Structure 1
């Protein structure tokens, strides 16, 4: 029988990219949902496709997550549920709980520690139900986590993780990603530094990272990502985990810094303020995307000891379209689950669930090169 994959939030750029990856790499039927009518979801997806053609495996369904009965019914008909309906800052774990209750495997593209913490609390329930649930899939978090695992495994004693990301313009994503960016500036957060949890202010401590061509030297800043929380727990021997984010062109970094440190705090704590900043930013990237592109660069550096020597292992990834890269990250894990190659009962961040060999093989089939070297 044909597998059925239910994608919640399928009318967004990330959900649509996940759907296209799964339809390309499996023979599954993929159901994309949103609060709009099914025809409108289809039209949105059609407009997101470069050649304005949809894969015939895709089906469209109007579904509001607040309609619990209909949501539960659709989950029960599925082999895999993928939650792409962000922002996740204030999402509850109802979808995950329904999947566990009905014995259906679960993935999401969540990108905030508050949701990650709530999701991981359901680990024992997922184990008892023999459900594999993996959170934080995508590009960052997601592929970035696996790049860290790839480097950590090279050491006898890993000591420090430094993750940096830079995105060109909008990254090919929608206004939801803009909302996520500004929501991430609302509060200080804890980071694991020199063996202790320390309070960090978002968008501070600018650092220049030399990314591979065409990015080169770019500024990145402290930013609260789920990896800041999960990586110290996944790799407990590591004493420090640093996660930094930046934008291209660089003036977006300065504008974001101003939003974080100069604008009245009420602007970032008010939903209307977030909406205003998000829509203005999205309009700006509509213009600059033509010049900057919509790609992404990820650099994972792990410092540690190997054969008695102190070394740094560095993994780099470059992709021309951030949204498509995110689709590949989630689609990879979906394919492995559907094919029975990945099975791990419980709720896990991606770096604990996905073995490095399967990660690298899947990236290669999608034309994504992870370049690793020693510095």
Structure 2
């Protein structure tokens, strides 16, 4: 039987990346959702025999639930997840529909993981945080950890060129995130850090080169710490060109909190950022680079593993990260009832197979 996949938020850049990946690597019939009938025009680039459009607003819970009930898998791309609850996941559990999402928010992750027992009882596989970071980055960390006898530290560094394809809503969420300190796992204990501090310069592959990265609140900073026996997990993020890093640092460290929290200020900052990146994207592109370093012991000696990943388009990379997991859920190769993060659910051999199929090279080295 042909599987049916519902892609919520399928009109966005990440959603389109997921749809494109599913068309290439599965036989599924795909339903793309949008809030207006005008969105149906986006289907012209897809084969009509496999892709259809459905007008659907996530606020209309009954209609959303009815749509979920007629599909085998839901791919939730309708962020920002800072503003989402777990209602879509719970509807999937209720109707026995598998679920994945591209979430990247700490609180949403906690809420979703709390539904594990219900998902196990329903027999559905639900994998969250399945984009590029988090997502592919988590699998890169697991790949390194599994090669060490005693893993001790995980260091993840991300860089995005220009906007990375993000829209204004994502930029608004980024500015809101800058105002909230968060806890990270350092030297065997939870410590609080402030966003966009702790600058380090990382040598990414070209065309990124030397790029500044800073503390940034991502769910993998705590899920990796909870899922693996390591003493330190650092997750840092930066942008290219470096000017944007310095501007973001100023907002995070110099602007009064009351100003940044005001909706008008957030809206203005995101609009200005969108206009700036609309210009710089023409020169920098919208790619993504990631580096995963794992330190520990191998053969009784200190060992330092490093893996790097680059892609010319961050949104497309997020789509293929989610599409990889969707592919194996649909094929039955990934069948693990419950709610899991990528590093818990996605075994390394399937991750490596997914990257090979998509002609993505993960550069690995020992230092």
Aligned ranges 1:224-235 → 2 under 5 Å: 224-235=217-228
Unaligned runs of 5+ in 1: 47-51
Structure 2: how far apart are the matches of 1:326 and 1:132?
20
1:174 to partner: Cα distance = 2.5
Structure 2: how far apart are the matches of 1:253 and 1:334?
34
The answer as to whether partners of 1:108 and 1:137 remain within 8 angstroms in 2 is yes
2:40 equivalent in structure 1: 42
Structure 1: how far apart are the matches of 2:36 and 2:214?
36
Structure 2: how far apart are the matches of 1:9 and 1:103?
21
Structure 2: how far apart are the matches of 1:185 and 1:13?
24
Unaligned runs of 5+ in 2: none
1:253 equivalent in structure 2: 245
Structure 2: how far apart are the matches of 1:208 and 1:55?
44
Aligned ranges 1:141-290 → 2 under 5 Å: 141-235=134-228, 237-290=229-282
Equivalent in 334, 338, 363 of residue 342 of structure 1: 334
Structure 2: how far apart are the matches of 1:174 and 1:367?
28
2:309 equivalent in structure 1: 317
Q: Report the 3-state secondary structure (helix = DSSP H, G, I; strand = E; otherwise coil) of the residue aligned with 2:195.
A: coil
2:357 is equivalent to residue 372 of structure 1:
no
1:179 to partner: Cα distance = 2.5
Structure 2: how far apart are the matches of 1:263 and 1:139?
30
The aligned length equals: 366
Aligned ranges 1:50-89 → 2 under 5 Å: 53-56=45-48, 57-89=50-82
1:55 to partner: Cα distance = 3.6
1:243-279 CA-partner distances (Å, limit 9, x unpaired): 0000000001011111111222123323333222222
1:172 to partner: Cα distance = 2.4
Distance 1:54 1:176, change over 3 A: farther
Q: Report the 3-state secondary structure (helix = DSSP H, G, I; strand = E; otherwise coil) of the residue aligned with 1:170.
A: coil
Q: Report the 3-state secondary structure (helix = DSSP H, G, I; strand = E; otherwise coil) of the residue aligned with 2:134.
A: helix
1:299 to partner: Cα distance = 0.1
Of 88-97 and 166-175, the range deviating more from structure 2: 166-175
TM-score normalised by length of structure 1: 0.95
2:110 is equivalent to residue 112 of structure 1:
no
1:23 to partner: Cα distance = 1.4
The answer as to whether partners of 1:109 and 1:136 remain within 8 angstroms in 2 is yes
2:96 equivalent in structure 1: 103
TM-score normalised by length of structure 2: 0.97
1:350 to partner: Cα distance = 0.5
